[in-house]
């Protein structure tokens, strides 16, 4: 199926969004008998935002029967009153696509803008710090969430269970008395190309699992991160330090300055949407 340029939803998924909002047509437009009249719909950034979702909105307009023009691609910053997208068509077409495209743009741009703000704060703490998004998205929107995190300059911590190794305390409960060294050797034998990430909850746990490729310090304060990083400097191998749990734009700089080079966050998933204004212009 055809997709829009750089879009992550195929036409089938986009048709489902349109059908959800107008499964039996648009009763108001039909009752007013204005469906055949021509016009234009324009989407503007009302808030300053890191834009995301314009490619999907563009394709939604096309699928509805409008002629669309994309002005701002995902990942770009848009000041207030920036024209993001416009489309020409009949009133029936424009009213059908209006709210679906607007809501998608607002939600995706909210996630992307929040990710960009956390990334900017992290870089103030250390130029090499990166923000990584978790998989704690609202079920069903992961492809859009991943696109939005990336549009904001972040990377994904993991997109799902199938492509990454992350050992939680909940996994270790089933290992009995097995030593960390034995566990890491066995996992590396099974997944020789995958970095091994281990989540820990104390400095002592971090030292015990220092042979991992990445140590994820769960709900450590910045001071505790700095203390743990200093202790790990005496180990033979120094893993990458990730901080997780409660990371947001207000504390990312502190965590990066403390020595965390990967900041794992779910905050953008709960970010408020950015306001996109829609203006109709009759022909």
Q: Say whether both 105 and 131 belong to one domain.
A: no
The whole-angstrom separation of Cα 6 and Cα 102 is 18
Supply the pLDDT for residue 4: 54
Pairing of strands 130-133, 262-265: parallel
Q: In 10 A of CB 211, how many CB atoms?
A: 18
Note the pLDDT of residue 237. 77
CA 196, CA 67: separation in Å to the nearest integer?
48
Q: Are residues 259 and 126 located together in one domain of the fold?
A: yes
Residues 187 and 265 in one domain: yes
Contact present, 83 and 116 (Cβ < 8 Å): no
Question: Whole-prediction pTM value?
Answer: 0.93
Q: Are 220 and 214 in contact (CB under 8 A)?
A: no
Instruction: Report which secondary-structure segment, H or E, holds 101.
Output: helix 91-125
How confident is the chain (283 residues) per 10-residue block, as mean pLDDT? 68 95 93 96 97 97 96 98 98 97 98 98 97 92 96 94 94 95 96 96 96 97 97 87 97 98 97 98 91
Selection from 166, 144, 129 nearest residue 249 by Cα:
129
Question: Which pLDDT belongs to residue 173?
Answer: 95
| Domains contained in the chain, number | 2
What pLDDT score was predicted for residue 247? 97
Residue 2 lies in a domain: no
With contact defined as beta carbons under 8 Å apart, do 56 and 107 qualify? no
pLDDT at 5: 62
Q: Are residues 127 and 155 in the same domain?
A: yes
Q: 169 lies in which domain range?
A: 119-270
CA angle 47, 253, 143 (to 5 degrees): 55
- What pLDDT, on the 0 to 100 scale, is given for residue 81? 97
Q: Is residue 1 part of a domain?
A: no
């Amino acid at each position: 199926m055809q997709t829009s340029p750089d879009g992550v939803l195929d036409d089938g998924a986009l048709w489902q969004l349109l059908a959800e909002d107008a499964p039996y047509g648009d009763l108001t437009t039909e009752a007013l008998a204005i469906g055949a009249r021509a016009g234009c719909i324009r989407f503007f950034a009302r808030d300053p935002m890191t834009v995301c979702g314009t490619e999907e909105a563009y394709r939604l307009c096309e699928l509805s029967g409008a002629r669309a023009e994309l002005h701002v691609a995902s990942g770009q910053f848009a000041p207030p009153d920036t024209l993001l997208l416009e489309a020409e068509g009949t009133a029936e077409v424009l009213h059908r696509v209006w709210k679906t495209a607007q809501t998608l743009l607002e939600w995706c741009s909210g996630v992307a803008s929040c990710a960009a703000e956390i990334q900017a704060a992290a870089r103030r703490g250390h130029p090499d710090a990166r923000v990584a998004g978790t998989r704690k998205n609202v079920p069903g929107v992961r492809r859009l969430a991943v696109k939005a995190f990336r549009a904001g300059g972040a990377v994904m911590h993991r997109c799902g269970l199938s492509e990454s190794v992350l050992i939680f305390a909940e996994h270790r409960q089933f290992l009995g008395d097995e030593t960390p060294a034995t566990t890491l050797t066995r996992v590396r034998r099974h997944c020789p190309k995958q970095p091994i990430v281990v989540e820990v909850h104390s400095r002592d746990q971090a030292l015990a699992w220092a042979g991992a490729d990445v140590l994820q310090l769960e709900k450590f304060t910045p001071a505790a991160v700095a203390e743990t990083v200093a202790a790990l400097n005496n180990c033979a191998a120094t893993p990458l330090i990730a901080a997780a749990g409660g990371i947001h734009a207000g504390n990312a700089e502190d965590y990066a300055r403390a020595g965390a080079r990967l900041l794992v966050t779910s905050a953008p998933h709960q970010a408020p949407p950015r306001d996109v204004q829609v203006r109709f212009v009759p022909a």
